[in-house]
Amino acid sequence: METEKWLLLRRDQVEEILEKYLPAEEGDAATLLSAMNYSVRAGGKRLRPILLLELCRLYGGSEEVASPFAAALECIHSYSLVHDDLPAMDDDMLRRGKPTTHAVYGEAMGILAGDGLLNYAFEIIAGALSDMDPSVLPGGIRAFSILSRAAGAFGMIGGQCVDIEAEGKEEISDGLIDSIYHNKTGALIASAMSMGTALAMAHAEDIDRAAECGYALGRAFQIRDDILDVTGSEEVLGKPIGSDERNLKPTYVAMHGIEKAQEEVRFQTEYAKSLVDKMPGDTEQLRALMDYLTGREM
């Protein structure tokens, strides 16, 4: 199947899953719940839940078991974007061609919407674990542990911290850039792949391989994102370009230039695909997805 068509089908599937878990916009905190739902419904590739579901499928797991974890993962990713767009961070008013959450609901509600989505994600998982069949419960607990670490100070938030502190510095090392990419972007993508594998009750070495694959894909994905911030257009990307330079952010592109950045994207993508070759089942679509994502124009 053509990659774009397959991706659209899988994205539609994720959208259906998300709608099952989003909270009703009612009660005294209805505005908050509305802001949370607006943030999740803003669209996007749904890359992380798609990867989680696909890895679970490859290792023979149950999509029904994996679905709440996929929804929780996307809630966490959405919250990170809400906070990333805030005035104190990147100060962006446009995301995916739509006004950002704080642009619609105000800065205070944007902060609360992000907080709400993070907590709601773990509420979803707690409910899933309480109803999980004992035969797959160890996989659920492992997936919960993976996501908890990937989303926190030793993963995405830690990477964001390093990214902020590096802004405007004159001397930036490749090691620092690697740390930012590994944690800020790579951690959630790696968690998606390793969570899917864990939920299928795969062996520890398979879970570790999936995580390694995710980190390589995350690095390629982020560098491609940095390239597009220089070469892309706001109309195509649905968000302002040049924000990295405006915010004095350290990037691989700023350090090494477009050509070397493109070489690194190709290298990391091929390495990720070499790890996919060691996975069971039909991995053709997963390999094609990696090529598509790291060669994208939006």
Neighbours of 105 (CB within 10 A): 22
Radius of gyration of the chain (CA): 18
236 pLDDT higher than 80: no
298 pLDDT higher than 90: no
- pTM value? 0.94
CA atoms of 135 and 103, how far apart (whole Å): 46
CATH superfamily membership of 3-294: Farnesyl Diphosphate Synthase (1.10.600.10)
Cβ-based burial of 185 (10 A; exposed 0-12, middle 13-18, buried ≥19) = buried
Token pair for residue 52?
Answer: 């989680």
Residues 169-224: tens digit of each pLDDT: 878 899 999 999 999 999 999 999 999 999 999 999 999 999 999 999 999 999 99
1 pLDDT higher than 70: no
237 pLDDT higher than 70: no
- Reported as a pLDDT band with limits 50, 70 and 90, residue 60 is very high
Q: Give Cβ neighbours of residue 221 (< 8 Å, ≥ 6 apart).
A: 47, 185, 189, 293, 294
**What element of type H or E holds 95?**
strand 94-95
Stretch 279-289: mean pLDDT = 95
Each domain of the chain, given as residue ranges in start order, spans 3-294
Token pair for residue 256?
Answer: 């090494």
For residues 235 and 85, which has the higher predicted lDDT (pLDDT)?
85
Stretch 37-45: mean pLDDT = 95
CB 156 within 8 A of CB 179: no
234 pLDDT higher than 70: no
pLDDT for residue 136 = 98
